[in-house]
Amino acid sequence: MKNLLYPLQLQPILKDKIWGGEKLNQYFNKESGSKILGESWEISTVPEDVSIVSHGSLKGKSLQEILETYKSDLLGVKNYKRFGNNFPLLIKFIDAKQDLSIQLHPNDALAKKRHNSFGKTEMWYVMQADEDANLIVGFNQKIDKETYLKHLQDKSLTKILNFDKVKEGDTYFIEAGRVHAIGAGVLLAEIQQTSDVTYRVYDWDRVDAEGNERELHNNIAIDAFNFNLKNDFKVEYKKKKNASNELVSCPFFITNFIEIDMKLKKENTKDSFIIYLCVDGEVEVSTVNSNVTISKGETILIPAAIKTYNLKADYAKLLEVYV
């Protein structure tokens, strides 16, 4: 007999990166002694990196197993028809102590053809930023393929890239085909399609401990660029308290911002799972048969079959994500 579904907490999958730091441990208590902890994968079904449930009667089961067992009860009917046994989103927290490589991701069609993978459209919500920290998103002028390749060859890419100084709460929507990089000193939440396909185009001429430069993918990256994207990547959004304020709505995910200081009765009419990322404070999530509190830097996955639940907080900021 199948266990009753309940809001799922998952064990973070921690990833050391050449550019990582110690904020994920310091700010969010991600248990790692590493000085180069770059990413905490909160919800993942990427092969080799599948999330495991950490609490309740399904503790120890993988998210993939649960999806294959519960199907549309987890994903929602429309999502299960669209994605089958493939969980569509990957949720991460990222700490950049140093600049990440300048990179981009292919769209669905190219990723399917080359990697048998989803493409990667994503969004960022800045949770903390050191003074003068920035993000690179898009170009600072109209660029075509020839101009881009000339600057790439001359190692002068930074002259044509758009640098934005950022602070807590800043939100960016990064479509597949748009060049981007997280700058040193930024701690953020990333919501993206389930894909680990990244094309690095420049890595600041960094070398590893053995003196090797990181692999670049310029010969295949050029086909992934969309030079015609508008500069509409910075997201302006309302911050009405105790209500869902739309951040991003795209074919791959919808994300809302909620600042909450009371008890909210929530009804899931989306025919989708709902994910909550706690980006500040703490919130109690309760259903008929469960009650759990998540705090800053934690995530919870509410299966589609759960139609009513409560959110209660004295103070919390949440990202609410569904498909």
Rounded to an integer, what distance in angstroms lies between the CA atom of residue 174 and that of residue 250? 11
Per-residue burial over 246-272, b if 16 or more Cβ lie within 10 Å, else e, is ebbeeebbbbbbbbbeeebebebeeeb
Strand-strand pairing, 134-139 and 161-165: antiparallel
DSSP 3-state assignment of 298?
strand
Within 10 Å of residue 205's Cβ, how many Cβ atoms? Answer: 8
Contacts of 63 (CB under 8 A, 6+ apart): 8, 10, 43, 44, 45, 50, 51, 52, 53, 87, 301
Q: Are 253 and 191 in contact (CB under 8 A)?
A: yes
Which of 82, 114, 178, 200 is catalytic? The answer is: 200
Query: Is 214 part of the annotated catalytic residue set?
Result: no
Using only C-alpha atoms, the chain has a radius of gyration, in whole angstroms, of 20
Calpha distance 218→202 (Å, rounded) = 8
> Residue 315 and residue 208: Cα distance in Å, rounded?
43
Residues carrying an active site annotation = 200
